[in-house]
Amino acid sequence: MDAITVFCPATIANISCGFDVLGLALDSVGDRMTVRKIPQREIRIAPIIGQDLPTDPMKNVAGVAGMALLEAASYTGGFHLEIDKRIKAGSGIGSSAASASGVVWAMNELLGKPFSAHELVGFAMAGEKLASGVAHADNVAPALYGGFTLIRSYSPLDIIRIDAPEELTASIIHPQIEIKTADSRKILKTTFALEDGIKQWGNLGGLIAGLYTRDYDLIGRCLEDYIIEPIRSILIPGFNQVKKEAVKAGALGCGISGSGPSIFALSKGRKTAEAVGRAMGTCYDGTGIAYDLHISGINPQGVRAIKES
């Protein structure tokens, strides 16, 4: 196999009570990328469709992640990448992580899978570092493992993959406003009340239990964030209204995706998720804020091959 085209999923990180630890992969929102072996030991990127991003591999998330893998591989050639970038940068659903994860997964396939998923996360994190200045794994872990991922620890990196209950469906609204990840981290407080912490880890424990037992009601009860959301939601116009309408329309819960501005809701069943999406959209209609709306199941496998040749 000399070339492979992959689907690179969008992801939701910071799932309510799981700030900095819990993420999930989406099934029908994502980029496409074609990776081809070339004899030269380099990474070439061209074209990039859909977004105005640098094709210089050292300035491109996919380039940097790919280089990290290439340096660790016993392969004398290089790769050529064609990227069809469908996830908007700055949307809060893991645009850079999709590129970073897709490229390392594809290269690993082309090289006969010398690296584990755990190692691929490490390479993809190098790409994330270029994008946000921090080598975080919140989005690349679910993009590479699929389902839900819990990052228990960074040092050493400890990732636990959890199957998503089958009917769980996400509704995501991306209001077209810009929030920089760095800014949305800056407004966070560095300390918080023990009382809120207890509620937060009680909810995260309950959420993990709900995923294992497929208890949708429990999942819903746990989708609360007492620490981050009260602060970060200030940066997202209409957040409280969107959340209220999502829950009224039947969502199990609703929160900020990543560091925003996208807002996600989780529902049982596609039909409910669609109604929830419409209710979320209604909040921005007439405000002058444009938005994208996505309805997606949870992706069980992460990055996947679409075409091999």
User: Active-site residue numbers?
Assistant: 128, 181
Please tell me the count of residues contacting its own copies according to CB under 8 A: 40
| 151 belongs to the binding site for its own copies (CB under 8 A) | yes
CB 122 within 8 A of CB 136: no
Two tokens, residue 38: 């070339």
Pairing of strands 22-38, 78-84: antiparallel
Residue 113: half-sphere exposure toward Cβ, Cα within 13 Å: 3
Question: Considering only residues 49, 58, 188, 290, which one is a binding residue for its own copies as defined by CB under 8 A?
Answer: 188
| 12 belongs to the binding site for its own copies (CB under 8 A) | no
Binding piece for its own copies, criterion CB under 8 A, among 75-83, 146-154, 175-183, 294-302: 146-154
CB of 113 or CB of 189, closer to its own copies: 189
CB 14 within 8 A of CB 22: yes
Residues 6+ apart with CB under 8 A from 118: 157, 159
Q: Compose the 31-70 pattern: x for residues touching its own copies by CB under 8 A, - for all others.
A: ----------------------------------------
CB 36 within 8 A of CB 79: yes
Question: Considering only residues 88, 221, 278, 304, which one is a binding residue for its own copies as defined by CB under 8 A?
Answer: 221
Instruction: Give me the residues paired with residue 26 across strands.
Output: 298
CA 237 to chain centre: 22
CB of 44 or CB of 221, closer to its own copies: 221
| 149 belongs to the binding site for its own copies (CB under 8 A) | no
CB of 18 or CB of 90, closer to its own copies: 18
Question: Considering only residues 150, 265, 276, 295, which one is a binding residue for its own copies as defined by CB under 8 A?
Answer: 150
Q: How far is the CB of 208 from its own copies (least distance, A)?
A: 4
Alpha-carbon torsion (94, 95, 97, 98), positive or negative: positive
How far CA 139 is from CA of 130, 155, 159, 216, 308, in Å, comes to 14, 17, 12, 23, 25
Question: Considering only residues 73, 135, 177, 227, which one is a binding residue for its own copies as defined by CB under 8 A?
Answer: 227
CB of 202 or CB of 297, closer to its own copies: 202
Angle between helices 95-110 and 61-72 (to 10 degrees): 30
| 17 belongs to the binding site for its own copies (CB under 8 A) | yes
| 199 belongs to the binding site for its own copies (CB under 8 A) | yes
Two tokens, residue 255: 């929160």
Q: Compose the 155-184 pattern: x for residues touching its own copies by CB under 8 A, - for all others.
A: ---x-x-x----------------------
Buried b (16+ CB within 10 A) or exposed e, 233-248: bebbbbbeebbebbbe
Binding site for its own copies (CB under 8 A): 17-22, 150-153, 158, 160, 162, 188-195, 197-209, 212-213, 218, 221-222, 227
